[in-house]
A = this chain, B = another copy of it.
Amino acid sequence: MTAEFIVAAHSLAYLNHKGDYCSSEEIAENVCTNPARVRKVMTKLKRAGLVKTHAGFVGGYRLAKPPQTVTLRDVFYAVGKRIVKVTWRSGSPDMDCPIAAGMRPYMDALFDSLDACCAERLAKTTLADIDRALFADKGEA
Contacts and interface: CB of A to CB of B under 8 A. Distances in A.
A101 B112 CA distance: 34
A125 interface: yes
A27 to B, nearest CB: 10
A99 B13 contact: yes
Interface residues of A, number: 50
Chain A contact residues: over half helix, strand or loop, or mixed? helix
Interface string A52-80: 00000000000000000000100000000
B100 A135 contact: no
Contacts of A72: 110
Contacts of A110: 72, 125
Given A30-B91, A90-B33, A106 B84 contact: no
Given A7-B90, A99-B134, A117-B118, 9 more contacts: A3-B88, A6-B90, A30-B91, A31-B100, A84-B118, A97-B141, A102-B133, A106-B130, A106-B134
